[in-house]
Structure 1
Amino acid sequence: MPAPITAARLAAATEVSLRSLYRDIDALRAAGARIEGERGYGYRLVEDYALPPQTFDRAEIEALALGLAEVRSMGDPVLAEAAASALAKITATLPDDREQYLVHAISQVFRPTSRYEPSPHMETVRAACWREEALRIGYADKDGAATERVILPLAVIHTDRTQTILAWCCLREGFRMFRADRLQHVDPTGTSFRPRRAVLLREYLSELDQRRSPATGNDRDERV
């Protein structure tokens, strides 16, 4: 039986804080994983049927490592922490040989700077998407002209340069893209548009199919 692995070593290997690591271990135990050990001693995952070893092959593990590393480097601190936590949970379920593939993945992400500056409003936007709740936003177009809008947020789009919110704009009565770096304020309204989100997304995809042409860059103020 392998020796316990210290919390410090696990935290360093998965690039999370000790606090996050302890929280993840508690979450795995709550989900039924048999993890022996305690703080100050070390931890060992006992294989059982509650949490069977993952059967990812080497290429799949490379893809997981690369994808999570990319999320950590984007510039969104909430998603970066979530990616690190997910990596720790996946690592804990892998057999020893597969764990080494993940911890020492050959595919790496290097960005001297984050892809974009973090927006203080994105967690509110994501929560509203999941809750299907309308938002009141202050938004500045590319020329700096400010408007107040009520939007129905549908999805967050990650491009090479910015986070963009796909939404139904109640002011324009149409689908619009709002750049996260142009949001001036974001306030929940408490008004639900459930269960319209799935329907609106289908309508938007249908519009894209009908246009069948790439963006020209000569968009209106709230488009990207």
Structure 2
Amino acid sequence: MSRSDRLFRLLHALRSLSAPVTAARLAEATEVSPRQVYRDIVALRAAGARIEGAAGYGYVLEEDPALPPQSFTRLEIEALLLGLGEVRQSGDADLAQAAESVAAKVIARLPERQAREAAHAVLRVYRHRPRVVPQAVLSVLREAAWEERAVDLAYRDEDGRITRRRVWPLAVAFLDEVLLMVAWCCLREDFRRFRLDRIEEARATEDSFRPRRAALLRDYVASLR
């Protein structure tokens, strides 16, 4: 295996495996020895890659603009553009604009042949009945989840009753017709799911639950199993 191929495979493994990735796991994924992984980590860092971690702990790749753009297969380009097309059809205005920006940036950095393939992608997305996306509510929840701040909700249940509660927003799921927030409910002291189209009011507070979001989300996913 050539040095350039080896380094490319190591970058791909760092990007795709759950971080932090041990040298032993990287060696298994790239089919080289752990000692070679250590040498290649040094080479990538010297070339401008921001790789955090050390032997015995594991490594995390911090993406860096200095790294060369990845090459995509034709099917990977189709998958990427199909996903971005779904966001444009189903997200709020901010997400739709972000999807347009991502597509433009990716296509601009592709080699000429792949850029042509992207411009004439075979797979398309069109929804006859787009989801109803409450943009103001989604923006508040998205920002609060990023910042790990509690949100005060006014929520309408199936019978039309309004309840008020404080929640820790963990994630928003895009279902077939509605958007669903997964949250920790401070009132019930348990996980709850809230339909965004039933949220009458959402106000971010200064109450922080950092750094519990990732751990709580893992616990919620584990409870589904």
TM-score by length of 2: 0.68
Q: Is residue 75–residue 118 contact of structure 1 (8 Å, CA) maintained in 2?
A: no
3-state SS in 2 of match to 1:120: helix
| Residue 114 of structure 2 is aligned to residue 70 of structure 1 | no
Runs of at least 4 residues of structure 1 off by over 6 A? none
| Residue 121 of structure 2 is aligned to residue 138 of structure 1 | no
Counterpart pick for 2:132 among 113, 116, 139: 116
* Partner Cα separation in structure 2 for residue 55 and residue 75 of structure 1: 27
Q: Which moved more, 1:109-118 or 1:191-200?
A: 109-118
* Partner Cα separation in structure 2 for residue 75 and residue 149 of structure 1: 26
Structure 2: which amino acid aligns with 1:164? L
Structure 1, unaligned runs of 5 or more: 1-48, 210-224
Counterpart pick for 1:126 among 139, 142, 152: 142
| Residue 170 of structure 2 is aligned to residue 164 of structure 1 | no
3-state SS in 2 of match to 1:116: coil
* Partner Cα separation in structure 1 for residue 122 and residue 87 of structure 2: 17
Coordinate RMSD, CA, aligned: 1.5
- The count of corresponding residues between Structure 1 and Structure 2 is 161
Per-residue CA distance 1:37-67 (angstroms, 9 max, x = gap): xxxxxxxxxxxx9463431000000000100
Per-residue CA distance 1:91-149 (angstroms, 9 max, x = gap): 11101110111111000111234222433210110000011100001000111110001
| Residue 196 of structure 2 is aligned to residue 196 of structure 1 | no
1:52 is matched with 68
Counterpart pick for 2:97 among 50, 56, 81: 81
Structure 2: which amino acid aligns with 1:133? R
Structure 2: which amino acid aligns with 1:172? R
Aligned-pair distance for 1:72?
Answer: 0.3
1:102 is matched with 118
Counterpart pick for 2:202 among 182, 186, 191: 186
Structure 1: which amino acid aligns with 2:203? D
Q: Is residue 144–residue 169 contact of structure 2 (8 Å, CA) maintained in 1?
A: yes
Aligned-pair distance for 1:151?
Answer: 0.1
Q: Is residue 133–residue 179 contact of structure 2 (8 Å, CA) maintained in 1?
A: no
Aligned-pair distance for 1:81?
Answer: 0.7
Q: Is residue 165–residue 180 contact of structure 1 (8 Å, CA) maintained in 2?
A: yes
Check 1:51–1:206 CA distance in 2 against 1; reply closer, same or farther (3 A cut): closer
Q: Is residue 140–residue 146 contact of structure 1 (8 Å, CA) maintained in 2?
A: yes
Structure 2, unaligned runs of 5 or more: 1-64
* Partner Cα separation in structure 2 for residue 117 and residue 134 of structure 1: 21
Q: Is residue 151–residue 202 contact of structure 2 (8 Å, CA) maintained in 1?
A: yes
Q: More relative contact order in 1 or in 2 (CA 8 Å, sep 6+)?
A: 1
* Partner Cα separation in structure 2 for residue 107 and residue 74 of structure 1: 16
Q: Which moved more, 1:110-119 or 1:159-168?
A: 110-119
1:205 is matched with 221
Q: Of Structure 1 and Structure 2, which has the larger fraction of its residues in helix? A: 2
3-state SS in 2 of match to 1:80: helix
Q: Is residue 119–residue 181 contact of structure 1 (8 Å, CA) maintained in 2?
A: no
Check 1:187–1:89 CA distance in 2 against 1; reply closer, same or farther (3 A cut): same
